Structure 1
Amino acid sequence: MPTLGQNQYGKAETRVVRVTRDGAVHHVRDLNVSVALSGDMAEVHHSGSNAAVLPTDTMKNTVFAFAREHGIASPEEFGTLLARHFVTSQPSISRARIRIEEYAWDRVPTPGEAEHSFVRAGRETRTARIAFDGEELEIFSGLTGLTVMNTTDSEFRGFVKDRYTTLPEAGDRVLATDVTAVWRHAADAPDWDAAHEAVRGHLLAAFAGTSSSSLQQTLFRMGSEVIERQPGIDEIRLSLPNKHHFLVDLEPFGMKNETADGAVYFAADRPYGLIEATVLRDGAPARIPVDTTTP
Structure 2
Amino acid sequence: MPTILGQNQYGKAENRVVKITRDGATHHIKDLNVSIALSGDMEEVHYSGSNANVLPTDTTKNTVFAFAKEHGVESAEQFGIHLARHFVTSQDAIHRARVRVEEYAWERIAVPDAGRAGHSFVRKGQETRLTQITYDGERWEVVSGLKDLTVLNSTDSEFRGYVKDRYTTLEEAYDRILATSVSGRWRFNWTGDDQPAPDWDDSYEQVRRHLLEAFAETYSRSLQQTLHRMGARVLDHRGEIDEVRFSLPNSHHFLVDLEPFGLENDTADGAVYVAADRPYGLIEGTVLREGCEARIPVDLTSP
Residues of 1 paired with 2:238 and 2:301: CA distance? 21
Matches of residues 211-226 of structure 1 in structure 2 within 5 Å?
Answer: 211-226=219-234
Matches of residues 1-295 of structure 1 in structure 2 within 5 Å?
Answer: 122-187=125-190, 189-292=197-300
Residues of 2 paired with 1:132 and 1:154: CA distance? 42
CA RMSD in angstroms comes to 1.3
Residues of 2 paired with 1:286 and 1:259: CA distance? 41
Q: Shift of the alpha carbon at 1:133?
A: 0.9
Distance 1:234 1:205, change over 3 A: same
1:22-54 CA-to-partner distances (Å, cap 9, x unmatched) read xxxxxxxxxxxxxxxxxxxxxxxxxxxxxxxxx
Residues of 2 paired with 1:240 and 1:190: CA distance? 27
TM-score normalised by L of structure 1: 0.58
Residues of 2 paired with 1:218 and 1:173: CA distance? 14
Q: Shift of the alpha carbon at 1:207?
A: 0.3
Q: Shift of the alpha carbon at 1:293?
A: 5.5
SS of residue paired to 2:169: coil
1:79-105 CA-to-partner distances (Å, cap 9, x unmatched) read xxxxxxxxxxxxxxxxxxxxxxxxxxx
Distance 1:246 1:221, change over 3 A: same
Aligned residues: 174
SS of residue paired to 2:268: coil
- Percent of aligned positions that are identical: 67
Q: Shift of the alpha carbon at 1:186?
A: 0.4
- Amino acid corresponding to residue 224 of structure 1 in structure 2: A
Q: Is the 8 A contact 2:198 2:240 kept in 1?
A: no
Q: Shift of the alpha carbon at 1:199?
A: 0.4
Distance 1:259 1:157, change over 3 A: closer
Q: Is the 8 A contact 1:131 1:137 kept in 2?
A: yes
- Amino acid corresponding to residue 172 of structure 2 in structure 1: E
Residues of 1 paired with 2:268 and 2:182: CA distance? 30
Task: List gaps (5 residues or longer) in structure 2.
Answer: 1-123, 191-195
Residues of 2 paired with 1:258 and 1:196: CA distance? 40
SS of residue paired to 2:184: strand
Aligned to 2:46: none
Q: Which has the higher contact order (CA 8 A, sep 6+)?
A: 1
Q: Is the 8 A contact 1:176 1:244 kept in 2?
A: yes
Aligned to 1:95: none
1:145-186 CA-to-partner distances (Å, cap 9, x unmatched) read 000000000000000000100000000100000000000000
Distance 1:293 1:280, change over 3 A: farther
Q: Shift of the alpha carbon at 1:260?
A: 2.4
SS of residue paired to 2:271: strand
1:163-221 CA-to-partner distances (Å, cap 9, x unmatched) read 10000000010000000000000016431111000000000000000000000000000
Task: List gaps (5 residues or longer) in structure 1.
Answer: 1-120
